[in-house]
Amino acid sequence: MASSLAPAIPRRAAPLRSVQDLFHRYGAITVIPWAVLALIVLAAIAAPALPFYDPYTQNLSSAYLSIMGRDEAGTLHLLGTDTLGVDTLSQLLLGARLSLTIAIGSVLVSTVLGVALGVAAGYLGGIVDRIVVVLIDVSLAVPRVLFMIPVVAVLGSSLWLLILLIGVTGWVVFARVVRAQVLTLRRRDYVDAAVMMGSGHLAVMVRHILPNLHGTILVLASLDLGAVIVMEAGLSYLGLGVQPPDTSWGLMIEQAQEYIVTDPRLLLVPSIALVTLVLAINLGTRPFTAELRPTRRRRGPVPIALGA
Amino acid sequence: MTTTAATTSPAQLATPTDGPTADALLTVRDLTVLFDTPVGPRAAVDQVSFDVRHGEVLGLVGESGSGKSVTLASIMGLTRADTAAISGSAVLDGVDLISAGESVLRGVRGKDVGMVFQNPMTALNPVRSVGAQLADAIRLHDRRVSKTELRERSVAALAEVGVPAPEMRLGQYAHELSGGLQQRVAIAMALINDPRLVIADEPTTALDVTVQAQVLDLLLAARDRGTSIVVVTHDLGVLAEVADRVAVMYAGRIVEMGPVTGVIDRTGHPYTAGLRASLPRLEQRIERLTPIGGAPPLLVDRPGGCAFHPRCPIAGEICGTERPELIAAGADHRSACHRVEILRG
Amino acid sequence: MADREIVEVQDLTKDFRRGRGPITRAVRGVSFGIRPGETVALVGESGCGKSTTARLVARLLRPTSGRIVYDGVDVTRWSTHRMRPLRPMVQMVFQDSWSALDPRMTCRDIVAEPLRVQRRYGRAQRDRVDELLARVGLDGRYGDRKPATLSGGQRQRLSIARALALQPRLLILDEPVSALDASIQAQIVTLFQDLQRDLGIAYLFISHDLAVVRHLADRVLVMYLGQVVEEGLAEAVFGAPRHPYTHGLLAAVPVDHPAARGRGPGRLAIGEPADPMHPPSGCVYRTRCYRVADECAHARPMLLGPADHREACAFPLPRPLAELRGLAR
């Protein structure tokens, strides 16, 4: 029967001509987080160029300065200083740089690893699939953070190691979801058509399977990003992540614990920053994860159950 | 003898007027369904009127975009109210189904009107047994039926549609049955409460030809027992097999309506004629088919005037500007074509 | 040389199994060949194995036993890599045009892909794409759009353009018009005829629609439960079929005209197609056969008769088509 569910010629998306168009298309709930994210990322990148940026110099005589406090040299500390006199804002920025680097790096590692294994398993089937499935089951049996603890204890916690570790332990979600989707995709006739042209397995996977996974990969990566940031903070809090004199938001939170009564600012600053970042990521990636949310009935041209 | 009818003035409008025809079971008048599209509201169903008479099989035939399925769905209240604006009336036994509330419709569906859909696999609940679903169909309309009676009636319903070993089937699930059996079960469910009207939307499309023949037999058997049937299809052969009267739909409107022999033999509309001419015949190999050029219009892209005119071999100037209304083209036979005499003459 | 079959399959068998479950024999002992320029049709109902057979001929599947021969060469066990230079010979058009076209590619890219894979680049490629689009009647303006913007008929045309890109000698058409509107079906069928006339391509046409098959096919194979039960020249098989299943199929096709209603012999095929997982013993058709006898359960009948019309039945009966359709006066 003719597919009367075929869409009418889709409206070509009107080009965005102004900031208002952006708000109109995506709504404030998405655009504002984007702005916040952009701000954080820019600040993190630009930090070393900023005049006041100095996350290492201690100055015990100007410790515990409050917001907008000035130290004895007359320098303004926008967010005050910590227990050792180090500028809090600089530490925040350093933390941002490190957290974001680790987060993006490890999500990349997880994505590449997970997608490659998922596609191979789903498309090639057979023994490759069996091996990957076993690997998935084994990885799921080992709690991720728990696994990282002894490794970090033994190998130390350099930046690269952290990225690699978090990345390598995070591939499973990607692989499972991608594999399931590939199982569907490979039965599409266009895959058969590609085989009939003489395409080899690799060519088909790269040219036909991978591009049709865009949406899925984006969704998974968005979700993973937020999770990894929190995970890194947790590791640092446990002393397994970033080490002094470097700092991360997790470490700042850990160090601020004992001063929660005397100087709550030390705890509030990194906590608010962390919450803001994760919230911004989760809200900002909502357009990509739209399919995951149950939709209200919407207006619009409708394919009804009985066709037209 | 059609020549007499054809010489009556083409201006003589023969569209059914307000009140329901005396011997009609279902009277549909001016049914219009508007959908919201990127280019504004469009009528998927445009002022459609027809009657379903007692004890007859009415075939509703059309292709994509004809609106035939939307018509059925709207009558039964299956279109989502927030996406479609429905107007017009569909009166069954004095009750207008279009303006009726959901509770009234629920009472009608499954009891006064049985429904059979295209894909039986999706019409049957995969996690409930056949017997449970048949019992549901009965109990929804009569709470007081005893378990024994439920069982008896279910077995009888299955036997009536030719399901072998009906007692055994009660415990089976949809996926354990073949496509043909599934459709039989679906038909049994539609018939179980002895409805006056059965609406079947492409009931044979997903089936093999030998099974299709059996399903059509079932529908005819139901008709012989007094049930009226509306069959929506794209297959002219199905019409030739079972229909008493036919309504041909194109681009949301009925373009021809009449007895099946009239519509097929002495067709009054170039679309129907073109469709007939373009189909290969089993009985005889034709050297070359004569397809209708172009494609059925999309909802958002309908031509002005007569929607068929860009594809019509006998289109004249008036066809591009003025929409044709249904006019007499034979005994109980109407066609919406400005140039119907050319077809006849 | 010119008469050698493009593709020949010998005694093909294909089994499927789900995990460690029971084996389903989808194709059992099918043999036929396709000569240049001819149209061979495989007809039958669901579960008869015609689609599986088509995919075996396309070498998308490997048979459990039997041979597949391309231009005289046995390619049954060849690897993907080895098959590559032979691929242009046999191409395929699929039933579901949604699934057959990669939604992320533009129309031009879809048609150009076979050329790219087979390393035919540059201006030659661009020109060839234009030529192909024109030949199938697709407006060049659709080139940069995605398949979702095309109608069903147009998508099928695009599929055909892609299939023609490598100048195949055989096109396998797997229910190419079943999913299309009636008024479009005729257009595509006519296109197939024109292409055959102009390019001399052979077709392997899979369909359940007997009227279309009658219109296009030179030879017909009727399949049931993985076996060929009747085969021969289309005129012979349609004109005076001998196997009870063919009788059943032809009698079941809806009439052309209400006047012919009920005049045929009625339903000659009883019940439903049997389950391929549990085929009946002896003649697999016996559970539906209106002429069944006791002997039918004992032995599986072989295809008997001359090449231009033979059947696998212990008690064949030629019946003219007109009689089966209720048209005999």
A302 interface with B at CB cutoff 8 Å = yes
Q: Say if the Cβ atoms of C80 and A195 lie within 8 Å.
A: yes
Fold assignment, A19-53+78-292: MetI-like fold (1.10.3720)
Q: What phi and psi values does residue B290 have, to the nearest 5 degrees?
A: -115, 90
Q: Say if the Cβ atoms of B38 and A301 lie within 8 Å.
A: yes
Give the residue numbers spanning the domain of C311.
244-324
- CA distances (Å), B34 to each of A273, B26, B91, in order? 50, 22, 20
Comparing alpha-carbon positions, the chain A residue that sits nearest to B35 is A301
Maximal CA-CA distance, chain A: 83
**pLDDT tens-place values along chain C, 329 residues long:** 457 899 999 999 999 988 788 889 999 999 999 999 999 999 999 889 999 999 999 999 999 999 999 999 999 999 988 999 999 999 999 999 899 999 999 999 999 999 999 887 777 888 899 999 999 999 888 888 999 888 889 999 999 999 999 999 999 999 999 888 888 999 999 999 999 999 999 999 999 899 999 999 999 999 999 999 999 999 999 999 999 999 999 999 998 888 888 888 888 888 888 888 889 999 999 999 999 999 999 989 999 999 899 999 999 999 999 888 887 65
Q: Which of C175, C181, C224 to mutate to test the interface with B (most CBs of B within 10 A)?
A: C181
- Select the residue of A297, A300, A306 nearest B69 (Cβ to Cβ): A306
Same domain, C107 and C252: no
C186 interface with B at CB cutoff 8 Å = yes
In a domain, C24, yes or no: yes
Q: Return the SS3 of B264.
A: helix
Same domain, C160 and C248: no
Same domain, C206 and C308: no
* Structural domain spans, chain A: 19-53+78-292
B41 interface with A at CB cutoff 8 Å = no
Q: Judging by DSSP bridges, how do beta strands B245-250 and B253-259 pair with one another?
A: antiparallel
- Select the residue of A6, A9, A190 nearest C100 (Cβ to Cβ): A190
* Structural domain spans, chain B: 23-105+238-345
Q: What confidence tens digit (pLDDT) does each residue in B87-144 have?
A: 999 999 888 988 888 888 888 888 889 899 888 878 889 899 999 999 998 988 888 8
In a domain, C235, yes or no: no
* Residue A87, strand partner residues: A81
CATH code of the domain in which C186 resides: 3.40.50.300
Total domains in the fold of chain C: 2
Contacting residues of B for A11, CB less than 8 Å apart: 38
Q: Say if the Cβ atoms of A308 and B64 lie within 8 Å.
A: yes
CA distance B245 to B53: 10
pTM of the model: 0.85
To the nearest whole angstrom, how far is the Cα of C102 from the nearest Cα of chain A?
Answer: 6
A9 interface with C at CB cutoff 8 Å = yes
Contact C26, C52 (CB under 8 A): yes
Contacting residues of B for C234, CB less than 8 Å apart: 285
* Residue C203, strand partner residues: C39, C171
Contacting residues of C for B292, CB less than 8 Å apart: 183, 186-187
Neighbours, chain C (3 or more CB pairs < 8 A)? A, B
Instruction: Give the tokens for residue C322.
Output: 């007109």
Same domain, C167 and C118: yes
User: How many CB atoms sit inside 10 A of residue C275's CB?
Assistant: 13
Tell me which residues of chain B, numbers 288 to 317, contact chain C at a CB-CB cutoff of 8 Å: 288-293, 295-296, 298
B71 interface with A at CB cutoff 8 Å = no
To the nearest whole angstrom, how far is the Cα of C110 from the nearest Cα of chain A?
Answer: 10
At residue A23 the predicted structure's pLDDT band, cuts being 50, 70 and 90, is confident
Contact C111, C132 (CB under 8 A): yes
In a domain, C282, yes or no: yes
Q: Is the dihedral of CA C119, C122, C127, C133 positive or negative?
A: positive
Q: What confidence tens digit (pLDDT) does each residue in A129-142 have?
A: 999 999 999 998 98
- Please state which architecture CATH assigns to domain B23-105+238-345: 3-Layer(aba) Sandwich (3.40)
Contact A173, A166 (CB under 8 A): no
